[in-house]
Structure 1
Amino acid sequence: MSQSVTLQRGQAVDFYGRLEEEVREHQSGAALLFLYCEGQPGTESCVQQFVDQLPGVETEVLRDESTGVLAVVMPGFTLDAAHYQALLLKQHLQSRLQQADPRITLAAIQEAPSMQTMKQMAETARLSISSDIHIFTEEDTGGAQSRILIVDQDKAVREFLQIRLTMQGYETLEAVDGLEALELIPKWEPDLVLTELNLYGIDGLPFIHHIQQLDMKHPPKIVVLTEKRVEQTISQCFQSGVDDYVTKPFSPVELDARIRRCLH
């Protein structure tokens, strides 16, 4: 994985992680707004200026550096009230930025939505072809996707697994080594870690132990996909709590079945 791709993914995780923390601070209910305004420098400062004058709102406008999407949490706002303010925000931007054509997605929330739901909201705003404000509902989320973190230093293997697992309906993220994976797991909270044992930095059983020691409400399942075929290694992995062990070269169909068995 290139450094630029790794950086972008790390920025995305930080963006949604910070946004989740912001939402959790307002358990009494809030509105969540995502905004995208293509090719308009100064959008963020204009949005922050607008937010600063909202009654009862003291919040920072968050920006996903990898996509340019902005997010605002509006504590105490009903959907109707937030929708009205979103219309005013749209007018505010169009009056101050030449040719501004903001795309806005809005939802009322009582508890922190999943990272996947927030990503869907952000993408709805970024990819919208309509200037109408989109009200995001439960119907938009569809079925919740399981998240799989792929950990392998071989770029070709990562790309193959990413494409195949995405086609199977999973949300995926990649890590090139154990250290990067240990940083991503608590932030991204994958349902399953699919990992090689031969990794840079930290590998093998120590890497497995570190995953299991992370302070997480729902620790991920662990499936080893490795070139190591030594019986003792396989036995030690299962004794350490690994959910499945697959050796390379592997059958993609068999791997699909084993992942489904672990997740369901």
Structure 2
Amino acid sequence: MSHTATLTKEQQGSLLDLLQEEVPKAPNHSCGLLFLHCAGGMSGTPGYVEAFIQSIPGAGRVYRDRESGIVALLLPGLTLSAAHYQALLLKQHLLRIKPDADPRMALTALTDIPAVHMLNSMAESVRLSITSDIQIFTEHSPSGASKILIVDHDDAVREFLQIRLELQGYHTLEAHDGLKALELIPQWKPDLVLTELNLSGIDGLPFIHHIHQLEVDAPPKIVILTEKRVEQTISQCFQHGVDDYVTKPFSPIELDARIRRCLH
């Protein structure tokens, strides 16, 4: 018997409600939850996911939002580490079927009914993310946790900042250049943009200026994290509405303090 629950167009708005109902039914109220979106496009994704979970002990269940293409996978009884292992295997499985599928994944492990804000953040994460890394969400993330957009051309820097900030309970999203960041800000509405000045497409002060020109209800705070140390550049950044400026190499503890000061 199929374990796939396919949501009709009229039912799309109930996906998060449905997940909240299903999690408490898991054995010992423990459940892995994976959100998946194939950015490269992949028709039949729910079927491929369902075929994969037949190899996992215990009954899994697959849900799909037809409009967004997001797939939600419940893994009853799995801890975060076990669910992460299965997510890695699923990623390999999908890439074998279609090498350019480009799966984006967000993962959590739950012991209680999940908060709507976290489910929303996970869904946004897989829909908007530019990274193929599996993003981890935790139940201890506070309700209304601040959202930080990380903008840097260096993959290693973005990964380090994402891991550090998410461990502190922030929700994060990444952009590798200024143009992508300007596209993401109105969609995701971050509370703070943590950005390098040297970016492709658009960078430096023009990038900062364009952030302030975006039509958003609440403009994000802006913290510059860059190798540029020229006093004139620093002064110009503050004149253009930057909230703080940190030079590389930086102290992670100092950066944490600067971000907290901007957000609170």
Q: 1:144: how far off?
A: 1.5
Percent of aligned pairs sharing the same letter: 64
Q: Which residue of 2 aligns with 1:89?
A: none
Q: Secondary structure at the match of 2:71?
A: coil
Q: Which residue of 2 aligns with 1:241?
A: 241
- Does 1:201 pair with 2:182? no
The CA deviation string for residues 206-248 of structure 1, in whole angstroms up to 9 with x for no partner, is: 0000000000001100000000000000000000000000000
Normalised by the length of structure 1, the TM-score is: 0.54
The letter for the 2-side match of 1:118 is: N
CA distance in 1, matches of 2:201, 2:230: 21
Q: 1:120: how far off?
A: 5.8
Q: Which residue of 2 aligns with 1:179?
A: 179
Q: Which residue of 1 aligns with 2:14?
A: 33
CA distance in 2, matches of 1:62, 1:219: 32
Q: Which residue of 2 aligns with 1:223?
A: 223
The letter for the 1-side match of 2:165 is: L
Compared CA separation, residues 147 and 249, structure 1 to 2 (3 A) = same
CA distance in 2, matches of 1:40, 1:223: 40
CA distance in 2, matches of 1:114, 1:182: 26
Q: 1:33: how far off?
A: 1.0
The CA deviation string for residues 121-151 of structure 1, in whole angstroms up to 9 with x for no partner, is: 899xxxxxxxxxxxxxxx9995211100000
Q: Which residue of 2 aligns with 1:118?
A: 120
Normalised by the length of structure 2, the TM-score is: 0.54
* Aligned residues between the structures: 163
The letter for the 1-side match of 2:158 is: R
CA distance in 2, matches of 1:120, 1:245: 30
Unaligned ranges ≥5, structure 2? 1-8, 23-33, 35-44, 49-64, 74-112, 126-138
Compared CA separation, residues 115 and 180, structure 1 to 2 (3 A) = farther
Question: Where in structure 2 are the equivalents of 1:1-264 lying within 5 Å?
Answer: 32-34=13-15, 40-41=46-47, 62-65=66-69, 67-69=70-72, 116=118, 118-119=120-121, 142-264=142-264
Compared CA separation, residues 68 and 31, structure 1 to 2 (3 A) = closer
CA distance in 2, matches of 1:157, 1:31: 36
The CA deviation string for residues 76-104 of structure 1, in whole angstroms up to 9 with x for no partner, is: xxxxxxxxxxxxxxxxxxxxxxxxxxxxx
Q: Secondary structure at the match of 2:14?
A: strand
